Amino acid sequence: MRPNILFVFSDQHRWSDLGCYGNKEVQSPYLDEFARSGTTVEACLSNCPLCVPARGSLLTGLYPMKHRAVSNDLPIDPSANSVAHALNGKGYHTGYMGKWHLGGIPRDQAIEQERRLGFTEWKVCNCSHDYLNSYYYDEKNRRHEINGYDAETYTTLAVDFIRRNKDEDQPWALWLSWGPPHDPYFAVPEKYLARYDEQTLSLRPNVPDTIVHSLGHRWTREEARRNLKGYYAHITALDEQFGRLVKTLEESGQLENTIVVYTSDHGDQLGSNGYTNKQLPYEESVRVPLIVRGPGIQPGARTSAMIGTTDLPVTVLSLAGVELDGADGRDLSSIFSDNSATGLDECYLFDLVPCHQSARRGTGAWRAVRTRRYTYACSDNGEPALFFDNLADPAQRNNLVADRAYADILSALQARVKAFADEYDALIPWPNLLKENGLLDEWNKSQRYFGEPETIPAIT
């Protein structure tokens, strides 16, 4: 029988903030232990570091222009081929639990069966960041109130799923999506906050004295450190929940025949490079943890191979011997069994529409390419391009875009960005991109829901 799949992903967890990635301050013993029995990937990159587009790609292996959820609170194309469709076709029993955020607006809606991308079992909240007072809808769209930390409730539901399907004559595949450590950083049980003293926490080396949260609000380093405390508290809370999952697999005799994945949709700046949140081409936004354990996967291994989150669904299904037809992502499963496998040579990164947080701080849409050594990014609103040597400057503090010594490398990277954009979207103003792809009405519907101004494309 094919292996089971447990795909766990959190929201807004940057790669640097786990013990197994070298962080000495965050408490993550269960994920650290899990990493010792699986393969840890050092360079997993969120192609689009924004919740909705990233989630759509994690479930379909498609870039956002194809799955249509190109920005936050736009609905995914319900006809998109998903991991659940592919697995259902191979006899799997599939389930999804936790945050969805692919139904468009309103955020608190129930998702009808035809819009669930093929998942059979269903315990889902479209989108809520009230982690201590949340809810979910079941398969029949009955609403259930959650008393307590919602990640714990979703984990309990996942534990029940794992136990119930132990003796069935078909493999199972469960996608479990936790909302934290996405802000609000302090919507976490007090017992986890009590484990951290913000005065002793270290900010990343690229956090300046003044940090742009929005055009009218700046963080200080003290505020960044205070929010880091809440962020770490969420991570520790999730770590304990992850430990429950592994324990359940072990006690039920299913651990050795289950592919287990931990990752996130994108990262969090938390002050790095002078910004908060995500939607930026910096490492803190785009780089996420990826730890995988299961049959045929090297235990206790670390790889510097590069992989994009759009490649992940194709790769994980390949580990189970299942193909995801029509995907943009590549099968990079060899990085989990072959020490010489290097993964991608280059990864396309982008934010197609500067929604919500990006709009409030005045940053624009951008396209980027990251190779194993360099990152180059260009914006659509006149902001200076970014060009970093990530080997010499891992904190990305020295912009080389005007350094003539790198002119040839810069030119090659600029050409690669254009080639990627020509293939997957277009280097045109983002309002025009929405209009030309039939997404403007849905976008403006979302803008009205949030009390934001509607968008009018430029005349070209």
Q: What is the mean pLDDT of residues 328-355?
A: 96
Q: What is the mean pLDDT of residues 179-204?
A: 98
> 80, 89, 92, 84: which is closest to 56 by C-alpha?
80
What confidence score (pLDDT) does residue 145 get?
Answer: 98
Do 238 and 277 share a structural domain?
yes
Q: Which domain CATH number covers 63? A: 3.40.720.10
What confidence score (pLDDT) does residue 306 get?
Answer: 98
* Given the residues 20, 44, 51, 127, the one annotated as active site: 51
> 375, 312, 367: which is closest to 49 by C-alpha?
367
What confidence score (pLDDT) does residue 1 get?
Answer: 81
Last residue of a domain, one of 284, 312, 345: 345
Highest mean pLDDT among 42-56, 421-435, 436-450: 42-56
Angle between the N-to-C axes of helices 221-251 and 150-164, in degrees from 0 to 180, rounded to the nearest 10: 20
Do 295 and 231 share a structural domain?
yes
Would you state the structure tokens that stand for residue 152, as one six-digit string?
A: 């714990």
What confidence score (pLDDT) does residue 427 get?
Answer: 85
Specify if 458 maps to a domain. Answer: no
pLDDT at position 395 over 90: yes
Last residue of a domain, one of 329, 345, 361: 345
Specify if 365 maps to a domain. Answer: yes
Do 280 and 383 share a structural domain?
no
Exposure string for 336-355, b = 16+ CB within 10 A, e = fewer: beeeeeebbebbbbbbbbbb
d(CA 426, CA 41): 30
What confidence score (pLDDT) does residue 458 get?
Answer: 63
Measured at the CA of 239, the angle between CA 233 and CA 245, to 5 degrees, comes to 150
CA distances to 195, 206, 280 from 230, rounded to whole Å, are 10, 20, 22
Do 296 and 284 share a structural domain?
yes
Exposure string for 156-172, b = 16+ CB within 10 A, e = fewer: ebbbebbeebeeeeebb
Handedness of CA 322, 311, 430, 420 (dihedral sign): negative
pLDDT at position 459 over 60: no
Would you state the structure tokens that stand for residue 388, as one six-digit string?
A: 């970093």
Angle between the N-to-C axes of helices 51-60 and 312-319, in degrees from 0 to 180, rounded to the nearest 10: 30
Would you state the structure tokens that stand for residue 431, as one six-digit string?
A: 């309002």
Do 433 and 421 share a structural domain?
yes
135-173 pLDDT, tens digit per residue, is 999 999 999 999 999 999 999 999 999 999 998 789 999
Q: Which domain CATH number covers 432? A: 3.30.1120.10
Per the structure, the count of domains in the chain is: 2
Do 394 and 292 share a structural domain?
no
Specify if 74 maps to a domain. Answer: yes
Do 398 and 335 share a structural domain?
no
* 101 in catalytic set: yes
Question: Position 200: which residue type?
Answer: T
* Given the residues 101, 213, 266, 356, the one annotated as active site: 101
79-90 pLDDT, tens digit per residue, is 999 999 999 999
Specify if 459 maps to a domain. Answer: no
CB 31 within 8 A of CB 18: yes
d(CA 224, CA 211): 8
- Chain Cα centroid distance, residue 173: 19
Do 274 and 365 share a structural domain?
no
Do 352 and 326 share a structural domain?
no
CA distances to 75, 242, 273, 370 from 389, rounded to whole Å, are 37, 35, 15, 10
Q: Which domain holds residue 370?
A: 347-449
Collapsing DSSP to helix, strand or coil, 377 comes out as: strand
Specify if 457 maps to a domain. Answer: no
Do 263 and 130 share a structural domain?
yes
Specify if 454 maps to a domain. Answer: no
Last residue of a domain, one of 281, 315, 345: 345
Do 237 and 201 share a structural domain?
yes
Give yes or no for a cis peptide into 289 (omega within 30° of 0).
no
Would you state the structure tokens that stand for residue 119, as one six-digit string?
A: 């998942």
Specify if 230 maps to a domain. Answer: yes
Specify if 455 maps to a domain. Answer: no
Do 283 and 384 share a structural domain?
no
CA distances to 277, 281, 379, 397, 411 from 273, rounded to whole Å, are 11, 11, 16, 7, 24
